[in-house]
Structure 1
């Protein structure tokens, strides 16, 4: 259910308006408490339990919501990159705010259109500075994002397509490729092709995954898969 937060008493009309999308009440309460005392002022004017409810109220970016804080996990255990992309493509300035903070997750979030990425373990001043920067359309790089950008020179990013990710997840969760084909309404030969391409991409960036166990390990490292998915 959407929860709307009234403008705080004493806040000026110049306060930056922020919406938070996260399915944990403790995050809503904590972020609201942090923003209540920051200067220049930031107003958490609305919070949402999932991106669907946010987009229903704000299908297009506008002046009512100037910055969006976006968690990456909701009903499923893997990061919601496709939904993140939808929110960004709607014209919103999005800061990904997540506990999933592997290099691949961070870089994929930026590829999807996020203005910046913050790990939930980073202190509140980083959150304030990221909001101010997003509002001003200027870049902000926190410590964890800086590490991911630095490692991007050496840590191989396989650049898997959305379909390749779907096939990998389905294959990890089922007994064989025929079940994957039925589940995704594709031919078994197509399943094999996608798996071969995924392995080839990992090998090409220096992270070979010749076995199913190795592919699972790579997928977990890159935020494509969580142990809870298995």
Structure 2
């Protein structure tokens, strides 16, 4: 039996996933929780093989990336399978670097979710097709991909911050910010801040600001 902890800030989503997963003879949801602290407590108590992790845990919660990192730092950590609506490069790279084993999208068919949970429990990497395509694109030689720091600059740009504010947020000089912007403009084939943000959102590098 594969023991699973669900982490999602929406009770209705957790209830739906629990009902769906419990219909499988070899899968058991042992806890469903809404954030970092409750996830750590549930994992420590229940010792699941797999944690099904959302990325957006609400404004007052740690992010799914932070929760993933914290759970992977526990003794005998569970495998983490991300289940989210977000498929941007920034989200994918950050949570995989934090230790997630796999990344599926919430529009995945139930059979794909069940297979993903089982594969994750075996220690295999599970990626939604769109996520795999993003990683392949970034790994393609000669591809004009933005760096992690450039992604951070783009996210701050999308929030309307100026160069001085971005420099303060990233603890760098304004000259460094201008250099990052120059590289971003070249890679995205744009010449304005608004154009850079629009292109980054269109290419699913960053999320739209809500």
What is the Cα deviation at residue 186 of structure 1? Answer: 4.5
2:65: which partner in 1?
Answer: 81
* Contact 1:22/1:70 (<8 A) preserved: yes
Q: CA RMSD in A?
A: 3.1
**Residue 106 (structure 2) aligned to one of 101, 114, 120:** 120
User: How far did 1:85 drift?
Assistant: 3.2
> TM-score scaled to structure 2, two decimals?
0.76
Query: Structure 1 residues 42, 80: CA separation in 2 closer, same or farther (over 3 Å shift)?
Result: closer
Unaligned stretches of 5+ in structure 2?
Answer: none
What do residues 133-160 of structure 1 show as CA deviations (whole Å, max 9, x unaligned)? 1111123344333433443445643221
Aligned pair partner of 1:197 in 169, 180, 203: 180
| Residue 52 (structure 2) pairs with residue 66 (structure 1) | no
The verdict on how the C-alpha distance between 1:56 and 1:193 changes in structure 2, with shifts beyond 3 A counting, is farther
Change (3 A) 1:212 1:84: farther
Question: Which residue does 1:11 correspond to in 2?
Answer: none
Maintained 8 Å contact 1:157/1:202: no
Given the alignment of the two structures, is residue 20 of structure 1 paired with residue 1 of structure 2, yes or no? no
**Partners of 2:68 and 2:185 in 1: CA distance:** 24
- Once residues 24 and 87 of structure 2 are traced to their aligned partners in structure 1, the CA distance between those partners, rounded to angstroms, is 25
TM-score by length of 1: 0.71
Tell me how many residue pairs correspond in the alignment: 202
Match of 2:126, SS state, is coil
Q: Any gaps of 5 or more consecutive residues in structure 1?
A: 1-14
Q: Name the SS of the counterpart of 1:224 in structure 2.
A: coil
Q: 2:81 aligns with which of 95, 98, 101?
A: 95
SS of 1:18's partner is strand
Separation of aligned partners in 2, 1:169 and 1:106: 15
Q: Is the 8 A contact 1:156 1:202 kept in 2?
A: no
